[in-house]
Amino acid sequence: MVWQTLLLVSSAAVAQNLSMFKMLSDSVYLADAKYRALNKYQKDATLFMDMVADTHPYYVKAERRAEWMAKKPALIEQCKSIETDEAFADALIAVLGPLHDKHTDVTTPKRLQEQKASARQEALSSGAGVADKAHIMRPHASHYDYQIFPDASICYLQFNKCEDAADFPFYNFLDKMFADMEAGGIKTLVVDVQYNSGGSSRLCDQLFMHLYPLDKMKFFTSYLRFSDLMAAYNPRMAEAKKKWESDGHKDELYMMPAPKIPANFQQPELYKGNVVFVMGKRTFSSAGMLLTNARDHHVGTIIGSTSTFSPSHYGEVLPFRLPNTEIIGSISTKYFARPDASAADERYLRPDVEIDLEDKDAAWSYILKKYGASSHHALVDSSGHNPGWLWEISGNGLQQKSYLFGTCHGEGHNFTREELLGVTSILLLSEITRFST
């Protein structure tokens, strides 16, 4: 499952060092005879239910906590007959299901090892390796790489992991990529994140700053929930929790300060061409935030399949370990509200154009045909200023095809074919008759 893979990715050292997971304490129950009489699965189920109620942002409200804790008796009863850690993990996953938070999950060390072996086998069977121009959209082994197709005027960026490569930090990688694109006059950037399950959102921000001015950007709003588990990792959080609640905020999340742009920040030169994002079923977490930013700031086009993530979502996980079994897990501590508040309740991000990503070669052929050099035509005005592109527009409720002259950042005008033929201030560099309706 996607969320189990995420737990593996975010906790790669688990098999070597379980000490990184804070063990939940049962000290408050040790004097309770009823607790001592429970089997190990019932004990850990008790601790798990309490921890989720105290930690997860969704359960900050008293009525939601009450609904969650109402599930506890049935889970304790179910645990009477559970005999393996794997069956116990399945029971906990089932009770978490309605939460719709794939960052919050449980597993066992055995399953982690199996998932690692499965991931390796999947990489081998899919042909993951060096970039291959003949099969461009198959998974590459690198964190990120790009290829330029001059004839199509496309740069293809496969962005697989939000983590700096040891030998080539993403910031420097982007500088080189955009410099090569400018030198080649590349008109379309394809950002393929169909294999990207997340990591550091810093890398996504570095990419997005080349596509949208930072000083005009609306940021995700993040809300933190103070908890005992958080205090176990950082004792200062215990004092912050105490003060927050003493100030009358017991059932409220703490809104984190908005990001500030450093005084010495230098805005990278914005890419003015077309941008196409590829979203798949494995796109998640920070990569999902990149696509949500693109949607909410009207940057580019998203193609592929409907997301498995929610645009507004939970995250910033803490790992934990249950004391009586080998169950380990992670739980979200923050809620991230997307920039477009009017769409905050949307459960999924839907692509602008849905395409089948299972057939990689067919998907790449579609991109070449739809977004390659032959699919758009250059326009300039009569004075040689304000260069742009003529885009053929159809669908989305339009009664007839229309044509957009301008850049991909909305700096342009929509024309019907008849209106375009009557405009004398622009010079068409390709035959207008190629756009017959």
Total Cβ atoms within 10 A of residue 426: 17
d(CA 129, CA 125): 11
Domain ranges of the chain: 2-113, 118-366, 376-435
Whether the model clears a pTM of 0.85, i.e. scores above it, the answer is: no
* Closest by Cα among 159, 187, 226, 196 to 307: 196
- Say if residues 105 and 96 touch (Cβ distance below 8 Å): yes
Q: How many CA atoms lie within 13 A of 344 on its CB side?
A: 11
* Closest by Cα among 320, 325, 323, 330 to 84: 325
Give the pLDDT score at 435: 34
Which tokens in the block code for residue 299? 């940057």
Q: Which residues contact 97 (CB under 8 A, 6 or more apart)?
A: none
d(CA 245, CA 191): 44
Q: Which residues contact 162 (CB under 8 A, 6 or more apart)?
A: 196, 198, 199, 200, 201, 202, 203, 204, 285, 286, 287
Give the pLDDT score at 384: 36
DSSP symbol at 134:
G
Give the pLDDT score at 432: 32
Give the pLDDT score at 134: 60
Q: Which residues contact 423 (CB under 8 A, 6 or more apart)?
A: 415
d(CA 289, CA 286): 5
Order of strands across the sheet that contains 301-304: 144-149, 154-159, 188-192, 274-279, 301-304, 353-354
DSSP symbol at 231:
H
Give the pLDDT score at 270: 97
Contacts by residues 401-407 (CB-CB < 8 Å, ≥ 24 positions apart): 401/435, 401/437, 403/435, 405/379, 407/272
Going along 21-74, which residue ranges are E strands? 22-23
* Closest by Cα among 299, 303, 267, 302 to 407: 299
d(CA 151, CA 156): 13
Segment (H or E) for 415: strand 412-415
pLDDT tens-place values along the chain, 437 residues long: 333 333 333 333 343 466 788 999 999 998 999 999 999 999 999 999 999 999 999 999 999 999 999 999 999 999 999 999 999 999 999 999 888 898 999 999 888 888 777 766 665 555 556 556 567 899 998 999 999 999 999 999 999 999 999 999 999 999 999 999 999 999 999 999 999 999 999 999 999 999 999 999 999 999 999 999 999 999 999 999 999 999 999 899 999 999 899 999 999 999 999 999 999 999 999 999 999 999 999 999 999 999 999 999 999 999 999 999 989 999 999 999 999 999 998 999 999 999 999 999 999 999 999 999 865 444 333 333 334 445 544 444 445 545 555 444 444 444 544 444 444 333 333 333 333 33
pLDDT in tens, 230-285: 999 999 999 999 999 999 998 999 999 998 999 999 999 999 999 999 999 999 99
Give the pLDDT score at 100: 86
d(CA 284, CA 323): 30
pLDDT in tens, 61-89: 999 999 999 999 999 999 999 999 999 99
In this structure, which topology does domain 118-366 adopt according to CATH? Answer: 2-enoyl-CoA Hydratase; Chain A, domain 1 (3.90.226)
DSSP symbol at 375:
G
d(CA 230, CA 55): 8
